Structure 1
């Protein structure tokens, strides 16, 4: 068991609150690189090795510096996490499920102090470096954003980039995903309401009367408001980045982010290589022209996207939510 708990090839995959145990699964570095997310869907089924949480923590070894990519979805966060898979320098962890387990526990009414204690231990286990001197860059699922203040409080030496797509771009991404995208934004809203992220004055009945893209906009606004609060509360511990700037100025953005994360990647190799030239989730070649063609599929929804964006800006103004976040990575 000591080998498992101290070896980063054993991913702390799931948490079982009933038995206070960590489910580890064997996940070599190559498997991390091949998987879109660290879920069974992409990693494949595997029988876990179960270790008591206290035992695992006692044997885990020293953690690496932690960095976070916190995001509001559909904004190149997977691309960024892939960019930090650089042996000897950093490892990017893409949406580890153990953090989702803690969110699920929270949504079921789990005790906040217990959840904080388990989160602290989970971060320690996720922070085991694959090689000496590496940083660990965690990209949680965006449903974990409500836990971001606690994560940054628990790790005052950590740094986080708050990554977002401009609202019309986000709405276009939802629209072109069809029913799947529309169901996803409604599911996100339900979770955010339970997490207390909505203080916009709308009742449950009001939300039922909104269109799918209005619901999408409200989910985006809730995350944007949270990011603004994080920037105010944690100051130099965080920076913010617009995904359109990342795509328009990849070398400048990656240079600034590497400086902020204190991870000396070869930026030119990263931005000219396969990471920026392939679809981050599906792996095929993906150029600027491909991105333009993909967004052309939003044309049928252009009128609704424009009207919802104007409506959401009015909601944001009334609620005091800035559409442009403070502490930008690129001035």
Structure 2
């Protein structure tokens, strides 16, 4: 089976899961479409592979190019919902946070040569974008820790388009605060990675980061991503659209119609209404149903509990953004503001 696999394009059931830089090899697992659809992320914890991976040296792989697009995001902005909506057999297949791309980030941050990372990233995108059906585009939603490679991915795939999805700052801070210590540790880890990637150019000194509160660290990370998205939208105005998560939730039908038109992906025969009635009515992480008003109620509860801290950090972040010359609103919106 391994020999046949090497002599032809690997079928879509074989998910390109991990990259091994020591052997310049890619590890594959058989993950069918239904499991990819039902799991929130393509991680080991969610997939729980039952068999050892099939390991193929990168030089042994031959893959035909396939259309690919991206959903880059700021985290806690309903990106999993948006990606799930583009699992459209015959039109598109979505991949939610494939670990292969995270592996390349770690490899790069450990000192891998930029040219080598670019070559492997090119191969990685090719083996990830293997559709289940002929003619399907692949929509990849990387983890937001992969945002440092976003411009490289767009450069390697000049036909690709991208939706840049983000939560408003106060909504983002509320999500972090509601998650307690887990959320506060996560934003500091994210910030440490952004600093290594050179994404944080906001006028701070290294000592400043030690003096920031947890929510200030969260705001700095959010501003770094906001700056990156603004740069991408200015660089590729015909290939990038920005979307506020509040707009996505308030008007999912308009958002999905506009996104599918922009990405060139045919909507389902009955339109996106049935997709919204299934995908948007459930928690993207655990599949539990949302009660009417639950999202807004949960957010308001979190805002009230941490109101003073969130407001003060948001005001501070506005000053930081102004001093750094960041726009209040990102350019190239998917929907009219």
Q: TM-score, normalised by structure 2?
A: 0.95
Q: Which deviates further from its counterpart, 98-107 or 260-269?
A: 260-269
Q: Is the contact made by 1:37 and 1:96 (CA closer than 8 Å) also made in structure 2? A: yes
For residues 115 and 181 of structure 1, what CA distance do their matches in structure 2 show? 30
Aligned to 1:204: 206
Q: Is the contact made by 1:231 and 1:326 (CA closer than 8 Å) also made in structure 2? A: yes
What SS class does the counterpart of residue 116 from structure 1 fall into? helix
Q: Is the contact made by 2:85 and 2:276 (CA closer than 8 Å) also made in structure 1? A: no
What SS class does the counterpart of residue 22 from structure 2 fall into? coil
What SS class does the counterpart of residue 6 from structure 1 fall into? coil
Aligned to 2:93: 91
Aligned to 2:152: 150
Q: How does 1:125-204 map to 2 (within 5 A)?
A: 125-204=127-206
For residues 192 and 138 of structure 1, what CA distance do their matches in structure 2 show? 21
The CA deviation at 1:11 is 0.5
Aligned to 2:11: 7
What SS class does the counterpart of residue 262 from structure 2 fall into? helix
Matched, 1:33 2:33: no
Q: Which deviates further from its counterpart, 178-187 or 287-296?
A: 287-296
Structure 1 vs Structure 2 CA RMSD? 1.2
For residues 84 and 119 of structure 1, what CA distance do their matches in structure 2 show? 23
Q: Is the contact made by 1:81 and 1:139 (CA closer than 8 Å) also made in structure 2? A: yes
Aligned to 1:282: 286
Q: How does 1:15-54 map to 2 (within 5 A)?
A: 15-46=19-50, 47-54=52-59
Q: TM-score, normalised by structure 1?
A: 0.97
For residues 160 and 77 of structure 1, what CA distance do their matches in structure 2 show? 13
The superposition leaves residues 299-328 of structure 1 with CA deviations (integer Å, 9 ceiling, x where unpaired) of 110111111111101100100111210000
The CA deviation at 1:288 is 4.3
For residues 99 and 69 of structure 2, what CA distance do their matches in structure 1 show? 17
What SS class does the counterpart of residue 226 from structure 1 fall into? helix
The CA deviation at 1:271 is 4.8
The CA deviation at 1:265 is 1.6
The CA deviation at 1:268 is 3.3
Q: Is the contact made by 1:251 and 1:271 (CA closer than 8 Å) also made in structure 2? A: no
For residues 26 and 263 of structure 1, what CA distance do their matches in structure 2 show? 26
**Which structure 1 residue ranges, 4+ long, deviate > 4 Å from structure 2?**
none
What SS class does the counterpart of residue 139 from structure 2 fall into? strand
Q: Is the contact made by 1:197 and 1:222 (CA closer than 8 Å) also made in structure 2? A: yes
For residues 151 and 292 of structure 1, what CA distance do their matches in structure 2 show? 34
Matched, 1:326 2:331: yes
For residues 288 and 182 of structure 1, what CA distance do their matches in structure 2 show? 29
For residues 63 and 277 of structure 1, what CA distance do their matches in structure 2 show? 35
Q: Is the contact made by 1:250 and 1:271 (CA closer than 8 Å) also made in structure 2? A: no
Aligned to 2:308: 303
Matched, 1:115 2:120: no
The superposition leaves residues 42-92 of structure 1 with CA deviations (integer Å, 9 ceiling, x where unpaired) of 001331000010112x2x2x2321110000100010001110111111111
For residues 236 and 291 of structure 2, what CA distance do their matches in structure 1 show? 36
What SS class does the counterpart of residue 324 from structure 1 fall into? coil
Consecutive unaligned residues of structure 2, counting only runs of 5 or more, are none
